Amino acid sequence: MSRYAVFGNPIAHSKSPLIHRAFAEQLGDSLSYEARLAPADDFAGGWAEFVVEGGLGANVTMPFKEQAYRLVDVLSPRAQRSCAVNTLLLGKNGQVYGDTTDGVGLVRDLERIQAPLAGARILVLGAGGAVRGVLEPLLAKQPVALIIANRTAAKASGLAADFADLAVDGTSLSGGSFEEIEGHFDLVINGTSASLGGELPPLPQALFTPQALAYDMMYSAEPTVFMRWAADRGARSEDGLGMLVEQAAESYFLWRHKRPDTAPVALMLRQLLM
């Protein structure tokens, strides 16, 4: 049987086995998918062991996305831009191919919920690995403005500079501090890890246009503090559960060349969370 896995540390909480097993069942695909713990400083060792056992591919989650990026033989262009790998695929010749599906997962989920993208004013909060991973596909949607705001302003302006060549056709791309945020936005994406600690970045009160969407890349059983803050100010809000399922579907496609239907799997996960 074809073997796949997700690597993380910790890993027990991962929803990826549930998601991929549901995809396989839906598609009548015979495969196994397990959660594997690797030592925090030795992702390479964990992956090598899995390959010896017959592993064909893997997802990679915290804290291994950068270690996986350094390990692979061939990087997809989007993984190269992201400096991160969340999907590994063993080639027939034994070469390891690395890709990242987080960004495409986010944009697919945004399209599913009809988020304003083309011609929109988009604000992205945070400038860590999670945000780096989603900038390329967001810019490809040709927003009129994409502003990155971060606690450490230099990281936001650095990211804007790194992606400046992808901001074409009238997209204005810039980065700075939360205090420098100006104007109203059609889409605000929270890519900080602040939600994890129940915290909220210091944001201007008047942030949203009338039809705005607030999207938190985190998800939880209850709406996140960012989602509640946005809803109190009139914005529609959504969490990142759909992104999780969409990035998994893209990984599945890379391995199996089949596209699962994500809607029933997202629904199943949501019901499990409640």
Judged by CB, which is closer to ligand ATR: 151, or 233? Answer: 151
Judged by CB, which is closer to ligand ATR: 55, or 176? Answer: 176
Shortest distance, position 215 Cβ to ligand ATR, whole Å: 15
How is residue 55 annotated by DSSP? E
Confirm whether residue 151 is marked as ligand binding.
Answer: yes
Q: How far is CA 272 from the centre of its chain?
A: 21
Shortest distance, position 152 Cβ to ligand ATR, whole Å: 3
Q: In sequence order, which residues have a C-beta less than 8 Å from that of residue 68 and are 6 or more positions away?
A: 7, 43, 47, 60, 84, 85, 86, 88, 98
Judged by CB, which is closer to ligand ATR: 22, or 244? Answer: 244
Shortest distance, position 139 Cβ to ligand ATR, whole Å: 18
Burial class (CB in 10 A: 0-12, 13-18, 19+), 25: exposed
Confirm whether residue 127 is marked as ligand binding.
Answer: yes
Q: Which residues contact ligand ATR (rule: CB under 6 A)?
A: 126-130, 150-152, 155, 192-194, 197, 199, 201
Shortest distance, position 11 Cβ to ligand ATR, whole Å: 16
Phi-psi region of 170 (alpha: psi -120 to 50; beta: other; left: phi over 0): left
- State the catalytic residue, choosing from 65, 92, 141, 258: 65
Helix axes 241-256, 16-27, angle to 10 degrees: 50
- Catalytic, 258? Answer no
- Among all residues, which ones are annotated catalytic? 65
Residues annotated within a binding site for shikimate: 14-16, 61, 86, 102, 219, 247
